[in-house]
Amino acid sequence: MMRSLILLSQLFFYLLLFLYSQLTSSSSSVPLCSQDQSFALLQFKQLFSFSNDVSFNCDEVGLHYYPKMESWKEGTDCCSWDGVTCDRMKGDVIGLDLSCSWLCGTIPFNSSLFLLPHLQWLNLASNNFNYSSISSRFGQFARLKHLDLSHSMFSGKVPLEISQLSQLASLDLSDYNSYLKLEASVVKRLVQNLTKLRELHLENVEMSSISLSSFMNLSSALTSITLNNCLLRGKLPDHIFRLPNLRELILTDNPELTWSFPMVNWSTPLRYLDVSRTIYSGVLPKSIGKMKFIQHLFMSECKFNGSIPAWLGNLTQLIDLDLSINNFSGEMPSSISNLFVLSYFDLRSNNIQGALPIWLGNLTRVTEIFFGTNNFTGQIPSSLSNLKNLTFLGLRYNNIGGRIPNCFANLTKLTAIHLSYNQLTGQFAEFQFSDSLEFLSLDNNRLYGSIPKSISNLVNLSFLDISSNDLNGTVDFNMFKKLKTLLYLNFRANLLHGVLPVPPSSMRNFLISNNRLSGEIPSSICNVTSIEILDISYNSLSGTIPSCLGNFSNSLVVMDLRRNNIYGTMPETFAEGNTLRTLVFNGNQLEGLLPKSLVNCKYLEVLDIGNNKINDSFPYWLEDLPVLQVLILRSNKFNGQLDNFKTKSSFSLLRIIDLSHNEFSGSLPTNFFKGLKAIKTTKESEGEVKYMEQGYYQDSVIVAMKGQSFVLERILTIFTTIDLSSNKFHGKIPEVIGMLNFLRGLNLSHNRLIGHIPSSLGLLSVLESLDLSSNRLNGEIPMQLTSLTFLAVLNLSQNQLMGPIPQGKQFGTFQNNSYGGNLGLCGFPLSKNCGIDERPPPPIFQEDNNPMFMSGFGWEAVLLGYGCGLVFGIAMGYFMFKIGKPQCLLGLIEENRPRKLKMPSNQRSRGSRNYSI
Ligand SMILES: *[C@@H]1O[C@H](CO)[C@@H](O)[C@H](O)[C@H]1NC(C)=O
Ligand SMILES: *[C@@H]1O[C@H](CO)[C@@H](O)[C@H](O)[C@H]1NC(C)=O
Ligand SMILES: *[C@@H]1O[C@H](CO)[C@@H](O)[C@H](O)[C@H]1NC(C)=O
Ligand SMILES: *[C@@H]1O[C@H](CO)[C@@H](O)[C@H](O)[C@H]1NC(C)=O
Ligand SMILES: *[C@@H]1O[C@H](CO)[C@@H](O)[C@H](O)[C@H]1NC(C)=O
Ligand SMILES: *[C@@H]1O[C@H](CO)[C@@H](O)[C@H](O)[C@H]1NC(C)=O
Ligand SMILES: *[C@@H]1O[C@H](CO)[C@@H](O)[C@H](O)[C@H]1NC(C)=O
């Protein structure tokens, strides 16, 4: 945004320069330019090569981006050269505008540029000075009024000499990156000496060392100040708000800057104020009502609390109002209905309460309403039908109930309605929307009835989410024929029945899981050739899989058919070059062999064919899939030994492995364990932990861990588990398992394992669940297991273990049932003591008392508490359940939408400034 503003301001500047040069040089035909100045300019030209590699967005605001210096030729009048302005009387070069001129090079101390002593304007913006520093000789232009070095890749310290430019009316050192630094001493001098300064733009200039008290001396001539992302720290003197001519102040993105509005004796001509992502301490004071002229007010993420003061209604010139991501509570004051020119209204992510007011319909100029993530109640007022210019209505995550009034039908500019996560009810078929709609999300409400044919009238729709409602009835095949631009369709978690509707061929994401669809998968689904995500899981689909399904879309990334009644064999047709990342057939009745063409799925990360009837030997050839992370073969008829792994097995990224409930036999696969690099070492520091997901699809698997099966609704990329239980493995547990440093779950139960529990298991320092039950293990429980401080579940029952149970740490938390059926064990918690007088240490964690644990969360969840996003994921012990999804974790369409860039409007101060030439 700032860039556009600044470039626009440049545009005005050049326009004036141009007019001036027309005035000054038009009538004369005699060359004006003196030899020495002409020479100096030509010499200056020599410093540069001309290259447009660096893409400055000069076009963005209509500035031409071309090598102006090309017109600079020896023997011609330098006053006629592009970018050069001369004094009409004396012929002195007084203005140089080389902005957006492809300059690539540096300006050394002895540059001939500094031989132009009459310069009053100098503009070198939007070039590439290759991270050189700003020469101190810029301070020698004693007559300079306007200096613009913005967006030109200067770096280093801004020289003190800049503060000698006491005639300066505008100074712009902004840049895209923070390579320039202003030191405390320079700022102090600058502020003292540049008493005529009206515009000061220092976007992204690092000023972390300055003392904010130096701003006490800011020139009262200032009309515009830009200080966003300057690393300003401390408390800003309110003097800056009192500057008598200040129309525009931008302090955005200084997260350690604290400020407050003046409380008394304040009047201000401010038009534009952006303080987003700075710290305001406390409640908004009455005095905010003093900003009589304010048109654009952005105060997002400032830690405001308390209620929105009624005085805001006095700011009747407001066009943009952004109070998002604060902690405002209470109701919206009705005085806001006075803001009759308001266009952009953003209250997202606060805790505003009360019914959505009817007077919202009085804000007739409003174009965008962002009220998502608050606590609005009541119904949607039908007065919204007055908002003829409304384009965006965001009300997600509130408590709005009732039916959706038919106030949207005639709002022909409306392109997006987001009403997800409310309590809306009513028959979906009754709602009317304008056909201008492109985004409609109504998911997670209580809408019922069938999906009406009329939905096909919304011909501009590209995004439709009505998941998690109570919609029933069948979905008409033909319904979507007219919706040619529809890309995303989510019907998940409703009560839809009938056959699987085939989406339009434009479709990218099609999610209709968790319904009651039946019948076969029509082979016409293979006509949807652009599809990326196909999720038809958790239905009652039956029949066989159309063979084309392995190879119908070049862009298919996710295919999820889990939990249906599909039988027959898996498709054989996975083609070379496919982009599949997730393939899930879990919970069907597929039989036969695993298709070898799966080796063509080079991007496959998740392969889940658990709970079928596949009868095959272990698919060693899957090791050719370089990014496979999740392999689930659970509950099939896989058989044979696992001893054919190469010494250097290459399942190197595999980290969730479930081979349980099959008929594998032989000894445990030592070489396989050795190859599991992703579990041995993890590159991911906690800061990089994320979920496996693809667009709106979340990878999920069912894992058995901690004694129960869990739906892992989202898979954290640091989650690791190996489950080889319920097979016929025999022999000893290999010591090498101890090398799997980052293993969190290990289940070898229900096999025929013999020998001792290897003490190397004590090296699995993040292990949370260990199940070795129902084997023939003997010997003592190694003491080393007490170093497993994350262990929440231990099951060693039904073995032939003996001797004392280790004591201390997590071992204080396990109950009798961890050890049942081992007649030779003694010590706490068993009643049989070992003959030595030992008193068990008190348990450090009493799992029985903790409901969170009982519902399956890891004990660390209790310690870390709740948060959102990542922290939440980690805190919840990597589990996300179907129930009680926290709001903040869901795909935040609205929240992710970038704030509309505010282009300066005609009313803006920048537009009306004039330079005294
Ligand atoms: C302040 O400006 C004057 C010219 O008006 C100049 O002589 C002086 O050196 C400047 N002071 C500083 C500290 O730059
Ligand atoms: C707001 O406007 C009302 C009525 O116009 C006026 O009485 C009040 O003083 C104003 N408040 C402020 C803080 O300017
Ligand atoms: C909204 O507009 C209506 C009709 O113009 C008017 O009667 C009503 O008082 C206004 N409401 C508020 C709160 O300003
Ligand atoms: C709606 O927008 C149009 C065009 O942008 C404008 O001419 C009209 O005045 C606006 N209507 C209202 C009520 O603001
Ligand atoms: C939301 O508002 C309702 C009623 O106005 C209140 O009972 C509830 O506690 C509020 N919720 C939050 C999170 O503030
Ligand atoms: C929409 O406009 C039409 C014609 O202008 C009118 O007949 C109809 O009642 C309006 N519908 C709503 C819901 O306002
Ligand atoms: C769909 O739901 C509505 C309302 O809940 C109910 O009246 C109707 O019988 C249902 N239809 C079917 C086919 O289940």
CB atoms within 10 A of CB 713: 17
As a three-state string, the secondary structure of 46-106 is: HCCEECCCCCCCCHHHCCCCCCHHHHCCCCCCHHHCCCEEECCCCCCEEEEECCCCCEECC
Class of domain 665-670+679-881: alpha beta
329 CA distance to ligand 2 middle (Å): 22
Quote the tokens at residue 733.
Answer: 């547990």
**Does residue 314 have its Cβ closer than 6 Å to ligand 2?**
yes
Quote the tokens at residue 224.
Answer: 């515009």
Tell me how far CA of residue 571 lies from CA of 200, 366, 596, 617, 630, in angstroms: 66, 53, 10, 18, 20
Asked if the model's pLDDT at residue 890 lies above 50, the reply is no
314 CA distance to ligand 2 middle (Å): 6
Residues 6 or more apart from 302 whose CB is under 8 A from it? 275, 276, 277, 278, 279, 280, 326
Q: What is the pLDDT of residues 410-465, one digit of tens each?
A: 999 999 999 999 999 999 988 899 999 999 999 999 999 999 888 989 999 999 99
**Does residue 311 have its Cβ closer than 6 Å to ligand 2?**
yes
Residue of higher predicted confidence among 476 and 816 = 816
From the CA of 406, give the closest atom in ligand 6. 13
CB atoms within 10 A of CB 302: 22
Owner of token pair 């063509």? 600
pLDDT more than 90, % of the chain: 66
**Does residue 448 have its Cβ closer than 6 Å to ligand 2?**
no
**Does residue 166 have its Cβ closer than 6 Å to ligand 1?**
yes
From the CA of 409, give the closest atom in ligand 6. 13
732 CA distance to ligand 5 middle (Å): 59
Q: Are 320 and 295 in contact (CB under 8 A)?
A: yes
Q: What is the pLDDT of residues 110-124, one digit of tens each?
A: 999 999 999 999 999
Q: Ligand 3 pocket: which residues have CB below 6 Å?
A: 334, 337, 359, 362
* pLDDT at residue 719 in the model: 83
Q: Write out the E strands in 642-765.
A: 656-658, 663-667, 691-694, 697-698, 701-705, 708-712, 715-716, 721-723, 728-732, 745-747, 752-755
Q: What is the pLDDT of residues 455-471, one digit of tens each?
A: 989 999 999 999 999 99
Judged by average pLDDT, the poorest of 4-13, 80-89, 466-475, 660-669 is: 4-13
673 CA distance to ligand 1 middle (Å): 74
Q: 3-state class of 290 per DSSP?
A: helix
Q: How confident is the model at residue 706 (pLDDT cuts 50, 70, 90)?
A: low
Give mean pLDDT, residues 34-55: 85
Judged by average pLDDT, the poorest of 50-59, 156-165, 737-746 is: 50-59
Where along the chain do its domains lie?
33-228, 665-670+679-881
Helices (H), 219-293: 239-242
Residue nearest to atom 12 of ligand 4 (CA): 365
Spatial distance between the Cα atoms of 415 and 418, rounded to a whole number of angstroms: 10
What superfamily would CATH give domain 33-228?
A: Ribonuclease Inhibitor (3.80.10.10)
Spatial distance between the Cα atoms of 603 and 363, rounded to a whole number of angstroms: 51
Give mean pLDDT, residues 796-816: 92
Spatial distance between the Cα atoms of 274 and 253, rounded to a whole number of angstroms: 9
167 CA distance to ligand 2 middle (Å): 40
Q: Are 57 and 66 in contact (CB under 8 A)?
A: no
From the CA of 163, give the closest atom in ligand 1. 14
Helices (H), 316-355: none
**Does residue 189 have its Cβ closer than 6 Å to ligand 1?**
yes
Owner of token pair 């890749």? 153
Quote the tokens at residue 754.
Answer: 């013999």
Name the nearest CA neighbour of 426 among 410, 406, 411. Answer: 406
Q: Return the bridge partners of 631, or none.
A: 607, 657
Q: Are 129 and 106 in contact (CB under 8 A)?
A: yes
Please check whether the two domains, 33-228 and 665-670+679-881, share a CATH topology: yes
Residue nearest to atom 6 of ligand 7 (CA): 449
**Does residue 909 have its Cβ closer than 6 Å to ligand 1?**
no
Quote the tokens at residue 146.
Answer: 């306007």
pTM of this structure: 0.82
Q: Are 149 and 124 in contact (CB under 8 A)?
A: yes
Q: Which amino acid does the sequence have at 219?
A: S
Q: Are 790 and 765 in contact (CB under 8 A)?
A: yes
- Render the burial of 192-220: b for 16+ CB within 10 Å, e for the rest: ebbebbbbbbbbbbbbeebebebbebbbe
Q: Are 389 and 365 in contact (CB under 8 A)?
A: yes
Q: Return the bridge partners of 328, or none.
A: 306
CB atoms within 10 A of CB 740: 26
363 CA distance to ligand 3 middle (Å): 10
**Does residue 163 have its Cβ closer than 6 Å to ligand 1?**
yes
From the CA of 334, give the closest atom in ligand 3. 13
**Does residue 188 have its Cβ closer than 6 Å to ligand 1?**
no
Whether the bond between 829 and the residue before it is cis, its omega within 30 degrees of 0, is: yes
CB atoms within 10 A of CB 50: 16
Residue nearest to atom 8 of ligand 5 (CA): 375
What is the number of the ligand closest to the CA of 139?
1
Residues in the chain: 917
- Which of 284, 287, 314, 335 maximizes ligand 2 atoms within 8 Å of its Cβ, making it the mutation to test the pocket? 314
From the CA of 142, give the closest atom in ligand 1. 4
